């Protein structure tokens, strides 16, 4: 599949970092499996991955943590 942003390259399997922000709450999740554009860096995650990311974010919110950096696998 060609990149939807730059249309200059095809997506390849890789990893990306996904930031979340909700009010004062900030989270960065690293090593998220994604399709990544080698030209512009645009990344797409599939639905299962997005769902898991949300559950990571909700767990951290429920712990009362407002700023954190996590690894996707943990």
Work out whether 6 is an interface residue with Zn ion (CB under 5 A): yes
Candidates 9, 13, 4, 69; CA nearest to 46 is: 13
For residue 44, state whether it binds Zn ion (rule: CB under 5 A). no
Coil vs helix vs strand at 69:
strand
Judged by CB under 5 A, does residue 39 bind Zn ion?
yes
Q: Verify binding: residue 5, Zn ion, rule CB under 5 A.
A: yes
Residue closer to Zn ion by CB (options 12, 40) is 40
Residues of this chain that interact with Zn ion (CB under 5 A) are 3, 5-6, 37, 39-40, 42
């Amino acid at each position: 599949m060609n990149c939807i942003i730059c249309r200059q390259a095809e997506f390849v399997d890789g990893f990306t970092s996904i930031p979340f922000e909700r009010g004062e709450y900030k989270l960065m999740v690293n090593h998220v499996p994604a399709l990544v554009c080698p030209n512009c860096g645009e990344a797409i995650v599939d639905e299962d991955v997005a769902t898991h990311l949300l559950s990571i974010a909700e767990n951290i919110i429920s712990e009362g943590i407002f700023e954190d950096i996590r690894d996707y696998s943990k």
